[in-house]
Amino acid sequence: MSGPTVEISNVHKSYGGKQAVRDLSLTVDPGECLALVGHNGAGKTTLMKLMLGLVRSSAGSVRVFGDDPGESAAVRDRFGIGFLPETVSFDAAMTGTEVMAFFARLKGVAVADGMALLERVELADAAPARIKTYSKGMRQRLGLAQALLGEPRLLLLDEPTTGLDPNLRQAFYGIIRELCAGGTSVILSSHILTELEARTDRVAIMNQGRLVACDTLDALRDRAGLAVRVRLRVKQGDAAAIASRLRSSADLARVNGQYVDLACGLGDKMMVLRDIAALGPDVVDVEIVPPTFDEVYNHFCLKEDRS
């Protein structure tokens, strides 16, 4: 099937008087990995539920594989949408094998596929054990395996890495990368902003139901225009003298012992570095720290709050 996987146009969703999603438009292409970020209550889960057809929009249109998911469950069945909810719970008395067999039958998928997925999420050894003996991370991986049943072309993952240790998180993003390479669109929400760097194609920032920015992280950094920090390590006692010799347009943020901290615009960075190089061997080391994703996120949320 050609065309975007998801096409959302001017969607509003209210629960009673509460506006959970406001005038939101978004397109997600096949093979794309999109991260949804936002404060608690920003509307991320509601947006996923709209794509799943679990709630209907109050206005605007939601199209998944060209159809309205709220009108026909066939969208889910025909193209396969995998969903990992924020709070994943299984019958504690069942084993991992039984849970996967249950969901495989429910989705009309071969039970053997479920077992292969348990291996893929590194739960094969724990498969005969009851869920009540599983750690939070193991339950989360079982939830991911369940969501992957039926080779979904759209995967919606609500805070999927909560409870995963750094190794498992890395393995999780490895699976996501493979799925996207195969053409699956993945939309995941997360509060762990640092983990999204270099792992998602675009980041959609939501604030109070609105989509306040949606772009690659590099583009968001550029648009935010936040300062780059440059830290010089100098010979002991030289910091103040070095600071006074700097000619460039960088702002002097702090002089502290062996360190001179500067801040400059992204566009001025090379000029500042040339000035630093001209200072010669008195500068022992240079560290460049671009704006963090947390800062970029705060920039767009605060901008929206002020407007």
**Single residue of 22, 32, 44, 142 touching ligand ATP by CB under 6 A:** 44
Rounded to a whole number of angstroms, the minimum distance from the CB of residue 41 to ligand ATP is: 4
Helix orientation angle between 111-120 and 136-148, rounded to the nearest 10 degrees: 130
17 counts as binding ligand ATP under rule CB under 6 A? no
User: Which stretch in 35-43, 128-136, 248-256, 289-297 sits in contact with ligand ATP by CB under 6 A?
Assistant: 35-43
Residues 161, 199: Cα–Cα separation, whole Å: 13
User: Which stretch in 25-33, 42-50, 177-185, 224-232 sits in contact with ligand ATP by CB under 6 A?
Assistant: 42-50
b/e map 196-215, b = 16+ CB within 10 Å: beebbbbbbbbbbbbbbbbe
Nearest to 50, CA basis, from 37, 68, 66:
68
Alpha helices (runs of H) in the chain, residue ranges in sequence order: 44-52, 74-79, 96-107, 111-120, 136-148, 166-181, 217-224, 239-245, 269-278, 293-306
207 counts as binding ligand ATP under rule CB under 6 A? no
DSSP bridge pairs for 286? 232
Residue 20 or 220: the one with the smaller Cβ distance to ligand ATP is 20
Rounded to a whole number of angstroms, the minimum distance from the CB of residue 284 to ligand ATP is: 44
**Whether the Cβ atoms of residue 21 and residue 58 lie closer than 8 Å to each other:** no
160 counts as binding ligand ATP under rule CB under 6 A? no
DSSP 160-213: TTTT--HHHHHHHHHHHHHHHHTT-EEEEE-S-GGGGTTT-SEEEEEETTEEEE
Rounded to a whole number of angstroms, the minimum distance from the CB of residue 252 to ligand ATP is: 39
Binding flags for ligand ATP, 72-111, as an x/- string (CB under 6 A):
--------------x-------------------------
**Single residue of 5, 46, 57, 140 touching ligand ATP by CB under 6 A:** 46
Residue 44 or 139: the one with the smaller Cβ distance to ligand ATP is 44
Residue 49 or 229: the one with the smaller Cβ distance to ligand ATP is 49
- Which residues of the shown chain bind ligand ATP in the complex (CB under 6 A)? 15, 18, 20, 38, 40-46, 86
